[in-house]
Structure 1
Amino acid sequence: MLRFLLDETPNLDYKIALKKPIPIKCIQIDEPFEVESMEGTMKGKAGDWLMIGVNGEKYVCDAAIFQKTYRIIDDN
């Protein structure tokens, strides 16, 4: 069985992939919150984002991660 360690990058022949730009619903929540996700109950901190995925799944995205990886495309 292959095993990949947290702090080591295996010497493999990697391909380059670009994440598809699939729009999802999201809202920044200004107080601590909880959401039932597919992985169980997730807790969000004030300022984190509640995300609704392409299949309706709900999850929390940390505010700093959101800032680095998402861009708001519509201000409805």
Structure 2
Amino acid sequence: MLFRKRPVVIDAVRFEDSVECFDELQELGLDPVRVGYDVKPPVLRIDTLEGEMAAQLGDYIIKGVNGEFYPCKPDIFEKTYIEEGV
């Protein structure tokens, strides 16, 4: 049997070490925004349904259909999603 993924519109923010990015993540509903500066480059720590994950700079932070958050590597994101209205 073949299955097709349902079309879903998602909200996402690309992780950068900037106040603007942190503000966008909070507006998306990620609270708290926890950036670990104990490693270089810094990582964003996210509580996911599978436990804590660390997003690297450039990773996309996706808000799932049930309000959960998880990181996605840029290459996978670009193969999976297109910008709305393009």
Q: TM-score, normalised by structure 1?
A: 0.72
For residues 1-76 of structure 1, the aligned pairs below 5 Å read: 15-31=1-17, 32-73=43-84
| Alpha-carbon shift at residue 72 of structure 1 (Å) | 1.4
Structure with the larger RCO, 1 or 2 (CA within 8 Å, 6+ apart): 2
Distance in 1 between the 2:80 and 2:50 partners? 21
| Structure whose CA Rg is larger | 1
| Alpha-carbon shift at residue 37 of structure 1 (Å) | 0.5
Question: Which runs of structure 1 show a deviation greater than 2 angstroms over 4 or more consecutive aligned residues?
Answer: none
RMSD of aligned residue pairs (Cα, Å): 1.2
| Alpha-carbon shift at residue 16 of structure 1 (Å) | 1.2
Number of equivalent positions:
60
Gap runs ≥5 in structure 1: 1-14
Give the residue type in structure 1 aligned to 2:2. Answer: I
Structure with the higher fraction of residues in helix conformation: 2
Q: Percent identity?
A: 33
